[in-house]
Amino acid sequence: MGLLDGKVCAITGAGGGIGRAHALLFAQQGAKVVVNDLGGARDGSGSGSETMAAKVVAEIEAAGGQAVANYDDVSDRAGAENIVKSAISAFGQLDVLVNNAGILRDTIFHKMSWSDWSDVLDVHLNGSFNMSRAVAGHFREQNSGAFVHMTSTSGLIGNFGQANYMAAKLGIVGLSRGIALDMSRFNVRSNCIAPFAFTRMIESIPAATEAEKQRVERLAQMTPAKIAPLAVYLGSEAASGVSGQVLAVRNNEVFLFNQPRPIRVIHRSDGWTPQKLAEQFKGAFGPSLTPLERSGDVFAWDPI
């Protein structure tokens, strides 16, 4: 008996890396899987290669599972709707959506082009919205469902050369929590995972210094298969009551992230002026200001 027996799951960007690992374990745990992948390159260029998704479907079927391939583009609303239609047509229902599809266009901010910005947001953030919106009506009608979205510590904490990716991934956290709040009345859950895993996406992280190279080497030890168990759990009924949360997986570690809440307050009965703020702001807030750190600064120890 698997945690997902009788469930149907759609996984975007499932032709390789983390998405493929999700698809294989979801199927192993009893789910019927729609394996979506546009077949493009890491930066989003190119499309139409059906090999990646088809190979994952073949792997699932060879292991005795059920799956169908889909090649639509999540950044296109009609494409997102087609992915949902693929699930309904093939399996008659849809119970879990994993928003995993993504691209990278890393560049330092003052050199970032409009297309670098908009293309990354279109796939990550707009794609996650398009898919979630296409699924929401079905989840509402059946009074059940689970969303699992992929965020990133680049968005939660920070990284060089990834302002577009950071904005998209932090936006997904807000999207997920909004869905969790709005759809809880329909027994629908929505959560985020920030995955640490070495994939073709990670290979593009700038590594000019020795410390950066060592960080990438540490990431290389963390395989996509380490992420999938948490995604399966969050998609299953075993996670009932868990919604609106942000988690991370780093090799054998699972983290629960806090979310923004007030930590300090200053008050003047006579109100504030710029001069008064200049006098008091740093003394009151300075020790509590969030450092300008990157993900690697916060997760600085070797993966366990």
pLDDT by 10s per residue, the chain, length 304? 899 999 999 999 999 999 999 999 999 999 999 999 998 766 666 655 568 999 999 999 999 999 999 999 999 999 999 999 999 999 999 999 999 999 999 999 999 999 999 999 999 999 999 999 999 999 999 999 999 999 999 999 999 999 999 999 999 999 999 999 999 999 999 999 999 986 555 555 566 788 777 767 766 778 999 999 999 999 999 999 999 999 999 999 999 999 999 999 999 999 999 999 999 999 999 999 999 999 989 998 878 7
What does the pLDDT read at residue 59? Answer: 98
What does the pLDDT read at residue 201? Answer: 52
**C-alpha separations of 145 from 29, 97, 139, 272, 295 in Å:** 17, 8, 5, 48, 31
The total of other beta-carbon atoms located within 10 Å of residue 294's CB is 17
What does the pLDDT read at residue 32? Answer: 98
* Cβ-proximal residues to 170 (8 Å cutoff; 6+ apart), any chain: 151, 155, 156
Instruction: Give me the count of residues in the chain.
Output: 304
Q: Which domains does the chain have, with CATH numbers?
A: 8-259 (3.40.50.720)
Contact 144, 187 (CB under 8 A): yes
CA–CA separation, 116 vs 26, rounded Å?
33
**C-alpha separations of 161 from 106, 155, 201, 236 in Å:** 5, 12, 14, 36
What does the pLDDT read at residue 57? Answer: 98
CA–CA separation, 144 vs 188, rounded Å?
5
Catalytic residue flag (residue 165): yes
pTM of the model: 0.92
Query: HSE of 35 in the Cβ direction (CA atoms, 13 Å)?
Result: 32
**How is residue 118 written in tokens?**
């908009």
CA–CA separation, 120 vs 112, rounded Å?
11
What does the pLDDT read at residue 149? Answer: 98
**Which residue out of 26, 71, 129, 165 is catalytically annotated?**
165
